[in-house]
Amino acid sequence: MAKPTLVRPGSARQQSSARQQGAAQHQGTAAKDTTAPQGTTTPIVPKNSISSRTLMLLIAIMTFLSCVTLGGVILVQKSAIAWSSEVGRQITIQIRPIAGEVMESNLRTAIALAQSTPGVSKAYPLSLEESQKLLEPWLGSGLDLSALSIPRLVIVELSSARPEDIEQLRAKLEAINGATLDTHAAWRQQLNTMAGTFVISGLLILALILAATILAIIFATRGTMASNRAIVEVLHFIGASNSFIAGEFQGRFLRIGLRGGLIGGLSALIFFFGISLTVSNALPSAANAQLSTLFGSFSLGADGVLAIIMLVPIIAGLTAATSRMTVRRFLKHTS
């Protein structure tokens, strides 16, 4: 015995109309297909619509901004690590001029004490001219500083930065009047704090860009669903499941995300390559030195390039997953 079909009151006319529309569309399609090659199929989601091209361009722009932000974070983090490592390998002995003390004798004594300390690889004094040159950024150049009592500096390079070795050297220097040891710990802490703030800010900006991308994909998916509502209703009428329809949209948006991501990622790599060439060749030496201090040589390195390449499939997958969730939610509300 055949299972009876339940018909909701008031829907018979709508179902009859849907059948007539589906039959008309089927006849029209069949008439068109008589001139089409055998074996060709028409995709459910249009391939070359204006909305698809616009979404691909939007994804390309968002991917470019994401890759540039991520690349900037990587450059600053690498530079901060290099700064901290370089500063951590050096400490400074400062000897102030004191009446009754012979400066050159105190310098030789400080160097001998430093070289006898474990963990010290090299110790050398700065000349008086080099010490005066260090004051030029604050006092200006061309001044006669011979009347000033300028402290002398001894640069100590460390092979290992163990705290007990530094404290041992500090205790030895107490035998020299006017001698102090500067480990640059406060400056390193400020430097690390500044770099950490920049990295966190960059990651927050990256998160905002990805959030904006998700919103754009949601609106684009809902617009595509609305423009293809008749097709979706016919698919429902012939028995297509929500998973099948969502899969069709997911596959289409995945391809859009991959194309846009590749365009944006490649543009970001070209951007960093161009910036590196500009900094190396076009900028003056002073500006080049300042930028190199902050960002290094603008070279991402293998890990930076790999991070940008990995961001492309991440954005493509995010595009596909977002479109699938949006389609399923749309179908759930319209069913």
pLDDT in tens, 56-84: 898 899 999 999 999 888 888 888 887 77
CA distance 210 to 63: 9
**pLDDT tens for each residue of 9-18:** 444 444 444 4
pLDDT surpassing 80 at residue 245: no
Tokens found for residue 299: 């070279």
Tokens found for residue 121: 């690889």
Q: What is the pLDDT at residue 201?
A: 92
CA distance 329 to 290: 52
Residues 280, 218 within the same domain? yes
Domain boundary among 177, 199, 221: 177
Residues 151, 194 within the same domain? no
pLDDT > 90 fraction of the chain, expressed in percent and rounded: 9
pLDDT surpassing 70 at residue 292: no
- Report the pLDDT averaged over residues 298-318: 86
Count of structural domains within the chain = 2
Residues 155, 303 within the same domain? no
Q: What is the pLDDT at residue 47?
A: 65
Handedness of CA 260, 265, 266, 267 (dihedral sign): positive
Q: What is the pLDDT at residue 14?
A: 44
User: Whole-prediction pTM value?
Assistant: 0.67
Q: What is the pLDDT at residue 39?
A: 47
Cα dist. 172→91, 258, 312 in Å? Answer: 15, 64, 57
Inside any domain, residue 320: yes
pLDDT surpassing 50 at residue 302: yes
The maximal CA–CA distance of the chain, rounded, in angstroms, is 120
The residue range of the domain holding 206 is: 48-84+189-334
Residues 201, 288 within the same domain? yes
Tokens found for residue 285: 């030496």
Residues 126, 194 within the same domain? no
Count how many residues are written for the chain. 335
Asked if residue 76 lies in contact with residue 200, where contact means CB atoms within 8 angstroms, the answer is no
Listed range (87-91, 139-143, 188-192, 231-235) with the worst mean pLDDT: 139-143
Inside any domain, residue 221: yes
Residue with the bigger pLDDT between 170 and 160: it is 170
pLDDT surpassing 70 at residue 35: no
Residues 193, 173 within the same domain? no
Domain boundary among 177, 211, 240: 177
Domain boundary among 177, 210, 236: 177
CA distance 105 to 272: 52
Residues 291, 147 within the same domain? no
Cα dist. 153→97, 117, 178, 246 in Å? Answer: 11, 18, 12, 71
- Report the pLDDT averaged over residues 276-283: 68
Nearest to 158 by CA among 92, 211, 107: 92
Residues 236, 330 within the same domain? yes
